[in-house]
Structures are given as C-alpha cells and as structure tokens.
Amino acid sequence: MSKDSTARRDQLVDSITQEMKRIKDKLVEIRGQIEQMQREVDRAQQKNDDINDELQVVQYNIETVPRQDIRAKYDAAMDARMRLTTMRSQLEKSNSDREQLERQQALLAQLMNQVQGVEALGSGIEASPSPGATKGPVNIVRIVQAQEEEKLRLARLMHDGPAQSLTNFILQTEICQRLFDRDPARAAEELGNLKTAASVTFQKVRDFIFDLRPMMLDDLGVVPTVRRFIDSFRERTDMEVKLDFVGEERRLESHREVMLFRGIQELLGHARDYAQATEVFIRLDMSTEIIKVEVEDNGRGFDAEATFSGDYAHVDPRTQGLITLKEKFELVRGTVSVTSGEGEGTHVSMSLPASDESV
C-alpha cells in the first residue's frame, strides 16, 4: 500500500472513529433522557389512573357531590390526559431518534470493519494465528459494540425489573399508610404482600450482581462459580443442565477464569434465548495445560458454516454473541469451534491455555 493510500486510510479511520465517538456520546445522553422521560410518563400515568379512580367515586355519588367539585374533577382529568398524551409523544420521538442513531452506529461499525479488512489485505502481513483461529483482523469494533449492547441489555433489565418493583413498593407503602386507620387488617395484608415482593426483588438484584461479576470467581475460582451459576440457571429456567468436570480444581490467572466463565455463561444464554433448548451438557476439562470446555444443547440450531464464513457484514443477532466469543478467545490464543445445523442442536468446543507458558 502506497504512502498516500495509507494516509487516506488513516484519515478515514480517524474520521469514522470521531463520528462513532460523537454518536456514542449522543446515545448516552439520549438514553439518559429517555429513562428520565419514562419515569415522568410512569408518574403521569399513575396520576391519570388516580384521577380516573376519583372520577368513578364521583359518578357513584353524582347526586350528592357539588357541581363545582364535579367540574373540577373533570377539568383535572382532562389536564392529566393531555399531559400524559404529550409526554408519550415526546418519549416516542426520543426513542425514534435513539433508533436512528443506533442504525448510524451500526453502519459506521460495518464501514470500519471494511476499512480494517482493506488495511489487513494491503499490508501483506498477517499475525500468526492460534490453532483453529480465523484469518484476518479481529474486529475490535464489534467486540466493543457487543459489550455496549450487553450493558444496554442489563440497564433495560434493571429498569423493567428492580427499578419498576421499587416504584411499586412506594405505591404499596402509600396504600398501607392510607389503610392503617381505616382498615388495619387490610393494611397488614398489604404489608405482607410488600414483604413478599421485596424478597423476590432482592433475589433478582442478587442474580444481576452475580451475572455482572460473581465475587466468588475471585475468591474460589472458576469451577465453584460455574457450578453455582448452573444451579441458579436451572432454577430460573427449568432447563436440564448437566456438568461433567474432569481433572483437579485449580486456580488460573484472573482473566483466564473470567474468559472461561463468560464463555459458559454466553453459551447457556444462547441455548435459552435463541436455541430454545431444553437440555444442555457441559464438560469442563482441567486435566491438561490446555483447558477445554464442551457445551452441547438440543436446541433448534443454525447454519454454523454460513455464520462463521468470515463475512460478518450482516450478522444474525442470534449468533452475534458466538462470533464475539470466538474473537475474544482468539485474542488470548484460545480457540472456539462451533458445529450446528438447522434442527440439529449446537455443539461448541472452547480451549484456552492455562498460562502463557502453555502456548
């Protein structure tokens, strides 16, 4: 590649990088605005519901309620409805803007991927791949994008799960306060319901923390953590997951233990969310200096040959995680091979050196 071509390519890479950073910053801003607007919409919806309840009371007692009170209630209901409609329209507009920015981000990521491919072809130099690794550059952009998507997924889960539950706790608490003087028995019942809901939410928060970073991974190592995760996974999904461990339990470098745990976590999530599997078999072999993991499910499968052909411009979201997993392992000289077919289930083999000396 000539110096002029190299300079133009570097300038293009810088431009794309700057634009991606601008879009990323804008997305962070607009997502924060959407979360705030969603909270305001939820409050407006609750206020609208409360006013509607009050209107029903007025309707039941229409003959005894003063005319000015009836007018005031209906005016308040109209104002609340108009406010809720306006806020929902603003929220829809913000969500539309977010989706447009995300599409621009995806297009820039594809363009960066193509530029990286041109760079690798033009240089005439390839890094020595690990056994079974794919040729060409590792798509760092896609790995970073996958990490951001995972953070967004967790943010949505927190919003729809614990955050929403906390909102309900506040409402239930207000109900209990109103009932204490009028109906103590009903208040006690509501408190019991609140306690049950709090226990369920607390368990969900613990599950989120474990998924983000299980502390026992640092304290006890990958094998006990995988066992604990599989037990929790069974309880949450009712899937039959079997673990076969070979060798002696031992500690590895922290980043290698994280890689192994995240690999198993990703594959179980794929089996649950996309493969619709009912059974998963895992074999973890630590008997040699090359740690090996086999994960096999009885799900619907996919065309693995087409997925890993090397053309990642239009990746099926169902297999995005598997491609990213493969690239992450190859960054640390590990390997990931996938065998799957439509209706045939999926078999994934992962290998990772126990240390740098094992390579």
Any idea where the domains of the chain sit in the sequence? 1-125, 127-212, 215-358
Cα 232 to chain centroid, rounded: 18
DSSP 357: G
Distance in angstroms between the alpha carbons of the first and the last residue of the chain: 33
Q: What does the alpha-carbon distance between residue 217 and residue 223 come to, in Å, rounded to a whole number?
A: 9
Q: What is the pLDDT along the chain (359 residues), one digit of tens a residue?
A: 556 667 777 777 778 888 888 888 888 888 888 888 888 888 888 888 888 778 777 767 767 777 777 777 777 777 777 777 778 777 888 888 888 888 888 877 777 776 665 443 333 333 334 444 444 444 555 555 556 666 666 666 666 667 677 777 777 777 777 777 778 888 888 888 888 888 877 777 777 776 666 778 888 899 999 999 999 889 888 899 999 999 999 999 988 998 999 999 999 999 998 888 999 999 999 999 999 999 999 999 888 888 777 655 455 667 778 888 888 888 888 999 999 988 889 999 999 999 877 66
Residue 101 makes CB contacts below 8 A (sequence gap 6+) with: 23, 26, 27, 30
Task: Count Cβ atoms below 10 Å from residue 145 Cβ, excluding itself.
Answer: 19
Q: Give me the phi and psi of 340, to 5 degrees please.
A: -160, 155
| pLDDT value of position 283 | 96
Task: Count Cβ atoms below 10 Å from residue 358 Cβ, excluding itself.
Answer: 13
Residue 223 makes CB contacts below 8 A (sequence gap 6+) with: 245, 249, 284, 286
Superfamily of domain 215-358: Histidine kinase-like ATPase, C-terminal domain (3.30.565.10)
Q: What does the alpha-carbon distance between residue 19 and residue 144 come to, in Å, rounded to a whole number?
A: 15
pTM: 0.52
Q: What does the alpha-carbon distance between residue 190 and residue 181 come to, in Å, rounded to a whole number?
A: 14
Q: What does the alpha-carbon distance between residue 125 and residue 16 come to, in Å, rounded to a whole number?
A: 24
As a CATH number, domain 127-212 is 1.20.5
